Structure formats: structure tokens, C-alpha cells
């Protein structure tokens, strides 16, 4: 059979492309290296709890069209992410807001908080921040930087804050109101019953093959001056590739850097509430993990189908790790060196007229879920 598209990767980008292209009358096939669909948004029910197998995923967006789009495939609850940061035995609210400042310095009003920060920022003496440390010091002052940012960020990225780009920290809101909502977006929530259903519904009418690796299974061939990809006797006019862009080109300019994660999940049948919150960040260097997720709190401790309270709990400790071949790549390392290397791969990608590179790994970008959906919808729109 000849298909219009081979979609490599059944993550969010691939699923949205497959669904939209199929709806537009194109023939598609989706493959994935893993034994399940949904990529890193994959959730799986265990003991009544939707477990986020590849780390916490909290949907948030200000893009109304994207919000309406995901709501077609799942009902979202009213979960608001408000993580706690733990520095030794001190607990603080995140993101940085009046609750954090009040706990840290005993201040009460925004003016008092601003005065403390202004003094610390002045002492730091940074006018034009060049890296994450300087950015954090000039935004939040020394106390916040030392207790809540420095060691956490070093653990997460495996390098000092002085060697990281400032933009990473700009993801975090900083506000002078008593508001613990981690995100500034208009819409937020967790799909009742988990994320996997979204991928299942998007792929409902599209053939999917799991445990299938594109790089070892498909090859490019020419037929009457026309380029195709061939896989198991089928032909594909185009490929949408959401794997690692450097792997696609056989690492010919050298590997891009990624950060990986190791998840250690523990079932606690005799504990109903381990930490009182879905997300607790461990911001000190003496603890080897960055955070503990207690999955049941994403759905308020209730079974998504029966709505009955769940007994027992499941927690996941998240350990950052440097990425090596064979491990799952999670975060692109968007520093100057890797940006330059990515630019070289991107130039190669642009020459490949029948391959579209998408998603976090295909575009080597630190993407939130809503941005992935937006990028996939825009990509499909340019194609049809
Ligand atoms: N960050 C921090 N302390 C925290 C949480 C986050 O310093 O308690 C910094 C850290 O540098 C991290 C960045 O903020 O890489 C972005 O955090 P976010 O929670 O958005 O990262 P993600 O959930 O995508 O891993």
C-alpha cells in the first residue's frame, strides 16, 4: 500500500498530526518505538490511580483554540498546580509569591517583600544578566536564589547555574500577590481518567504499529524520480518524524545533548496521603532527586471512574540524569553550543522535502503540551 504519511512517534505531536491529516482525507500510518502510544504524556491506571509514567504533566494554556481542542478528547478537572518547595525542613510555596516571601522573611505586605528583594538585588549588583544565576539574583535576590533555585537547578541540569541560559528561569512566575498557582495561563487542568485516552481517541481511525523503530525499519527509495520511504513493503510519500533529529541524521555532526530522568515509583498501600500535595520539589543538593509526585492528588484522591476515595497511594521520585544512548531523552539542553549544533541539523532537515520534523525531539525545543498541539495544528494546516 502507498500512504501519504508515515508518522514516526505516537506522542502528542504525532497523534494530533495523524488525526488532522486523516480527517483531511490523507492516508496515514503511525509507528512508535515504545510498546504504548501517547509518548511522554502516557498515564496508566494502577490501584485506582492514574500514574504519570514519564513525570508530572499538567495541562495549561492561554490558547483558547488549543484548550477547546483537548477538551474534545477528555474532560478536564479543575486541578491547579501549586507545588511546594522543600529546602531541608523548610517548606515554601511556589511559584515565588507573597506566601513564599512571607515565610522566608516574615514580611506581610508586597511593599515589605519588594524592599527585601530590592536590597538583595542591589547587593548582587547585576545590571545585565548573562546566565541563569545572574538572572535569578537580579530577579529574586540571594535568599530565594540560594534556597529555592541554585541547587535544584544544578541537580536538574547537571551543571552550575552560571553555565545555563537565563530563559529557563523565566518560565517561573514571580508575583507580589498571595497566589500559589504555578502557571499564569487562562486554562488549566488534568484530564479526568488520564492522558492516554486523548492519544487513543486521536488515533482511533489510524493504523498504529508499536515496538517499531523507524531508523532500523524504514529506508528512502527513488521510484521514477519520486522519493519515497519504504517500510515492510509499504510506501510513504512523506514522513513526520518526532524522534531525535540528530539520530535521524546518524549523529553526523555529533550528538545533541539532552537531560534524562530516572523515575522511581513506589506503591504505599497503607498510606492514604504521603505528602499532602501532588508535587513537592526538593531544592537542596543533599537530596538526590528533584521532586516527588504523589499521583492521586492530580485527581483529588478519587478514582476517576467510581469517584470513590482511593486507599493507599503511589509516589514517584524523579532523579535527573545525564543522557546517554539508549536512555530516554527528556529535556533538550538549549545552550549556545547545542543551539549551534541543532542549527546544522535543521539545515539538513530543510533539504529533506518529504520529511517534517516535529515535537520536542524533532525540533529540539523545551515544549509544553499546549505548544506541541499548536505546532502540530499549524504544521498540518500548512500541508493541507
Ligand atoms: N526551578 C527552580 N526551583 C524549583 C522549580 C524550578 O529553580 O523549585 C527552576 C529550574 O531551573 C527549572 C526551571 O525553574 O529548570 C523550570 O522549572 P519547571 O518546573 O517549569 O520545569 P519542568 O516542570 O518543565 O521540569
Quote the CA–CA distance of 200 and 179 in Å, as a whole number: 35
**Cα–chain-centroid distance for residue 22?**
26
pLDDT on residue 239 = 98
| Residue corresponding to grid cell 524520480 | 225
Q: What is the DSSP letter of 121?
A: H
- Residues 100, 174: contact at Cβ < 8 Å? no
Tell me the three state secondary structure of residue 354. Answer: coil
Q: Any catalytic annotation for residue 291?
A: yes
Whole-prediction pTM? 0.95
As a whole number, mean pLDDT of residues 104-115 equals 98
pLDDT of residue 334: 79
Tens of pLDDT, residues 210-231:
999 999 999 999 999 999 999 9
Q: Which residues of 34-58 are buried (b: 16+ CB within 10 A; e: fewer)?
A: beebbbbbbbeeebbbbbbbbebbb
Query: What's the pLDDT at 167?
Result: 84
Q: Does 171 score more than 80 pLDDT? A: no
CA distance 18 to 64: 21
Question: In the predicted model, what is the mean pLDDT of residues 167-176?
Answer: 84
Q: Which residue's CA is the closest to the ligand 1 atom numbered 15?
A: 153
Is residue 294 among the annotated active site residues? no
pLDDT > 90: percent of the chain: 92
Average pLDDT over residues 224-251: 97
Domains and CATH numbers, the chain: 2-37+203-256+333-383 (3.40.50.720), 95-169 (no CATH), 258-322 (no CATH)
Ligand 1, atom 12, residue with closest C-alpha = 153
Percentage of residues of the chain with pLDDT beyond 70: 100
Cβ < 6 A, ligand 1 pocket: 85, 94, 148-149, 152-153, 156, 168-169, 171-172, 281, 283
The mean per-residue pLDDT over the stretch 23-45 comes to 98
Residue from 56, 143, 156, 164 whose mutation best tests the ligand 1 pocket (most atoms within 8 A of CB): 156
Q: Which helix (H) or strand (E) holds 340?
A: helix 336-351
Confidence of residue 111 (pLDDT cuts 50, 70, 90): very high
Among 259, 274, 317, 319, the active-site one is: 259
pLDDT band at 341 (very low <50, low <70, confident <90, very high): very high
pLDDT score for 165: 86
Predicted local confidence at residue 335, as pLDDT: 82
Rounded mean pLDDT, 330-336: 87
Whose C-alpha lies nearest to ligand 1, atom 20?
A: 171
pLDDT in tens, 275-308: 999 999 999 999 999 999 999 999 999 998 899 9
What per-residue confidence (pLDDT) applies to 43? 98
Cell numbers linked to 331: 529535556
Amino acid at each position: 500500500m502507498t500512504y501519504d504519511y508515515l508518522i514516526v512517534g505516537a506522542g502528542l505531536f504525532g497523534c494530533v498530526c495523524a488525526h488532522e491529516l486523516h480527517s483531511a482525507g490523507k492516508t496515514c500510518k503511525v509507528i512508535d518505538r515504545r510498546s504504548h502510544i501517547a509518548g511522554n504524556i502516557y498515564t496508566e491506571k494502577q490501584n485506582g490511580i492514574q500514574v504519570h509514567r514519564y513525570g508530572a504533566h499538567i495541562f495549561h494554556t492561554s490558547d483558547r483554540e488549543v484548550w477547546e481542542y483537548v477538551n474534545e478528547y477528555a474532560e478536564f478537572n479543575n486541578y491547579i498546580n501549586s507545588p511546594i518547595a522543600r529546602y531541608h525542613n523548610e517548606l515554601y510555596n511556589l511559584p515565588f509569591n507573597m506566601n513564599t516571601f512571607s515565610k522566608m522573611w516574615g514580611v506581610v505586605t508586597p511593599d515589605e517583600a519588594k524592599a527585601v528583594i530590592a536590597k538583595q538585588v542591589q547587593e548582587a549588583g547585576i545590571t545585565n544578566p548573562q546566565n541563569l544565576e545572574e538572572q535569578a539574583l537580579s530577579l529574586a535576590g540571594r535568599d530565594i536564589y540560594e534556597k529555592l533555585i541554585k541547587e535544584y537547578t544544578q541537580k536538574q541540569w547537571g551543571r552550575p547555574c552560571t553555565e545555563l541560559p537565563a530563559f529557563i528561569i523565566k518560565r517561573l512566575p514571580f508575583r507580589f500577590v498571595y497566589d500559589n498557582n504555578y502557571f499564569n495561563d487562562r486554562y488549566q487542568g488534568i484530564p479526568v481518567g488520564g492522558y492516554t485516552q486523548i492519544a487513543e481517541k486521536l488515533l482511533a481511525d489510524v493504523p498504529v504499529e508499536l515496538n517499531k523503530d523507524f531508523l532500523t525499519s524504514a529506508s528512502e527509495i527513488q521510484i521514477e524520480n519520486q522519493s519515497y520511504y519504504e517500510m515492510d513493503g509499504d510506501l510513504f510519500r512523506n514522513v513526520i518524524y518526532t524522534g531525535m533529529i540528530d539520530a535521524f541524521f546518524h549523529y553526523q555532526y555529533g550528538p545533541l545533548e539532552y537531560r534524562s530522568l530516572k523515575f522511581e515509583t513506589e506503591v504505599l498501600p497503607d498510606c492514604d496521603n504521603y505528602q499532602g500535595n501532588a508535587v513537592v520539589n526538593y531544592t537542596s543538593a543533599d537530596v538526590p532527586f528533584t521532586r516527588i509526585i504523589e499521583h492521586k492528588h492530580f485527581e483529588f484522591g478519587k478514582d476517576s471512574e467510581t469517584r470513590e476515595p482511593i486507599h493507599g497511594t503511589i509516589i514517584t521520585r524523579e532523579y535527573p540524569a545525564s543522557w546517554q544512548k539508549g536512555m530516554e531523552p527528556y529535556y533538550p539542553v538549549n545552550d549556545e553550543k547545542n543551539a549551534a549544533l541543532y542549527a546544522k541539523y535543521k539545515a539538513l532537515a530543510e533539504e529533506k522535502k518529504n520529511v517534517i520534523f516535529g515535537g520536542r525531539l524533532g525540533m529540539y525545543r523545551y515544549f509544553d503540551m499546549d505548544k506541541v498541539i499548536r505546532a502540530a495544528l499549524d504544521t498540518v494546516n500548512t500541508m493541507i
